[in-house]
């Protein structure tokens, strides 16, 4: 349905003089071929090569939907109901994000977009920042849960909103990626949520759930990526509004990335001045952050 367009190729170089083969060329000629892509090696390899958070979310969603299809559990025990949550059924705050309907073509579409853009975010913007990625999903799910009862009290499952949030954040972080819809309509990545919303409305689905995801995605994008730049440029004392808890960094083993995120939005001249003030490190010694 959606295909990513490659950049235009480089102009061909004029042919040069023939080169004599050397030992390295002979080794390459006789070297074994590279391993095939994961898709050709089977679904298990493709599944295991997924980053951990995307793999866990996909597994939980598929198992939950399969359990409902086999009548092991009932969707009535999973859907979001604020009154039942107040009575102590707090699991509904989480399980409503794991059920995407019956096993059907619509379920496969949801799994495709969930896996694709959740994985692209985890391997791209949040590469090496597992704790920050989990915190993003937690914030998104929390905001969706708080907004949904006021917009439409009868929304039972909110997994589609969370998927739309991740699609929106990925699109804004990859503004120059070109996509095509049905090989007919080209557009850039920031318009992908709106194309999906239009396509969903054409199929007769309500737009409320998807719009909630877009609003939450824009809110997170502004707080995480736009506000720090504005605060840095205007010299505000408060530079960041979102901070991943240190405990989550420790649990994910990414605590050392916390300070690196802080300097991502600093101007280049400030980074150069800070680097010039760092003391020299003797050869053979490694300087650890926060070490006196």
- Total residues found in the chain within this entry: 292
Task: Give percent above pLDDT 70 in the chain.
Answer: 73
pLDDT above 90 for 227 = yes
State the DSSP string of the chain: -EEEPPPPPPPPPPP-------HHHHHHHHSPPPPPPHHHH-HHHHHHTS-HHHHHHHHHHHHHHHHHHTTSS-GGGTS--HHHHHTT-TTHHHHTTT---SSSHHHHHHHHHHHHHHHHHHHTTTTT-HHHHHHHHHHHHHHHHHHHHHH-TT----HHHHHHHHHHHHHHH-TT-EEEETTTEEEEGGGHHHHHHHHHHHTT--SHHHHHHHHHHHHHHIIIIIHHHHHHHHT-S---S----HHHHHHHT-GGGHHHHHTTTS-HHHHHHHHHHSPP--TT--PPTT--
CA pair distance 42, 157, nearest whole angstrom: 32
Count CA atoms closer than 13 A to 238's CA, side-chain side: 6
CA pair distance 292, 284, nearest whole angstrom: 18
The pLDDT of residue 26 is 46
In tens, the pLDDT along 86-136 reads 999 999 999 999 999 888 888 888 898 889 999 999 999 999 899 999 999
- Cα 204 to the center of its chain, rounded Å: 27
The token duo for 173 is: 């972080």
Residues with Cβ within 8 Å of residue 212, at least 6 apart in sequence? 144, 147, 148, 151, 158, 161, 164
Lowest mean pLDDT among 91-95, 138-142, 160-164, 280-284: 280-284
Lowest mean pLDDT among 36-45, 109-118, 160-169, 186-195: 36-45
Contact status, residue 126 vs residue 179, Cβ threshold 8 Å:
no
Question: What are the backbone dihedrals phi and psi of residue 29, each rounded to the nearest 5 degrees, phi first?
Answer: -65, -35
Banded model confidence at residue 239, pLDDT cuts 50, 70, 90: confident
Mean pLDDT of 192-198: 92
Q: pTM of the full predicted structure?
A: 0.74
Mean pLDDT of 33-49: 69
Q: Which residue has the higher pLDDT, 266 or 162?
A: 162
pLDDT above 90 for 25 = no
Banded model confidence at residue 61, pLDDT cuts 50, 70, 90: very high
The token duo for 47 is: 């599944």
């Amino acid at each position: 349905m959606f295909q990513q367009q490659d950049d235009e190729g480089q102009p061909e170089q004029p042919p040069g003089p023939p080169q004599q083969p050397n030992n390295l060329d002979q080794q390459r000629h006789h070297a074994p071929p590279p391993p095939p892509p994961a898709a050709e090696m089977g679904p298990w390899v493709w599944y295991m090569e997924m980053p951990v958070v995307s793999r866990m979310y996909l597994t939980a969603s598929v198992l939950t939907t399969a359990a409902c299809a086999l009548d092991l559990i009932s969707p009535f025990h999973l859907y979001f109901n604020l009154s039942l949550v107040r009575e102590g059924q707090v699991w509904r705050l989480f399980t409503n994000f794991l059920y995407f309907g019956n096993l059907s073509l619509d379920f496969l579409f949801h799994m495709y977009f969930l896996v694709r853009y959740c994985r692209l975010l985890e391997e791209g913007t949040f590469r090496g920042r597992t704790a920050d990625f989990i915190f993003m999903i937690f914030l998104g799910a929390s905001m969706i849960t708080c907004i949904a009862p006021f917009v439409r009290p009868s929304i039972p499952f909110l997994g589609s909103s969370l998927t739309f949030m991740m699609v929106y954040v990925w699109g804004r972080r990859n503004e120059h990626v070109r996509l095509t819809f049905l090989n007919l309509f080209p557009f850039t990545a920031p318009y992908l949520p709106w194309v999906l919303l239009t396509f969903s409305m054409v199929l007769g689905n309500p737009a409320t759930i998807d719009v909630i995801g877009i609003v939450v995605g824009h809110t997170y994008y502004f707080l995480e990526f736009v506000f720090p730049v504005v605060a840095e440029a205007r010299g505000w004392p408060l530079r960041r509004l979102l901070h991943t808890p240190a405990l989550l960094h420790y649990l994910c083993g990414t605590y050392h990335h916390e300070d690196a995120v802080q300097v991502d939005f600093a101007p280049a001249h400030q980074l150069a001045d800070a680097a010039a003030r760092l003391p020299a490190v003797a050869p053979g010694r490694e300087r650890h952050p926060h070490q006196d």
